[in-house]
Amino acid sequence: MLLPPTTPFILHIIIETLAGFSFTLAPRVQLPNASAPGQLLVQSYGGTLLSTVLVSLIFVIRPEGLDATAKMVAAAFAFGHTWPCHRALSRIRRGDALGGIFGGPVVHLSVHTLMVGLFAYAAMTD
């Protein structure tokens, strides 16, 4: 691998820490006009994102490197990043605003597509 094998995990930590805190601390930014249960759902999603940050941190600091377990987690994270891509594509097709707190759907699509590729590559390398 041209990049260190932990690169996708490090990038995931950076990206999803920001997103996780945004979802948990400012749910109305993510889902304006949400009901109280809707806000709680958004906050729960943020907590889930933050838990993936902790999992990534484990794979960054553990001495085993990119072993079979890390590759399976990388594959799972590649799959997980396809869903923000789907959301971004849906927003682009609807003509939603191209700006936003973290750059809007075009930026989200670009970043998460990169993450899918990096994690998929990490999952398949020897």
**Position of tokens 């590649």?**
78
pLDDT band at 109 (very low <50, low <70, confident <90, very high): very high
Q: Give, to the nearest 10 degrees, the angle between helix 36-61 and helix 68-94.
A: 140
Domain coordinates in residue numbering, the chain: 7-124
Average pLDDT, integer, range 106-113: 94
Residue 75 is predicted with a pLDDT of 98
Residue 100 is predicted with a pLDDT of 65
- Span 45-103, pLDDT tens digits: 999 999 999 999 999 999 888 899 999 999 999 999 999 999 999 989 998 766 666 67
Residue 64 is predicted with a pLDDT of 85
Residue 25 is predicted with a pLDDT of 96
pTM: 0.89
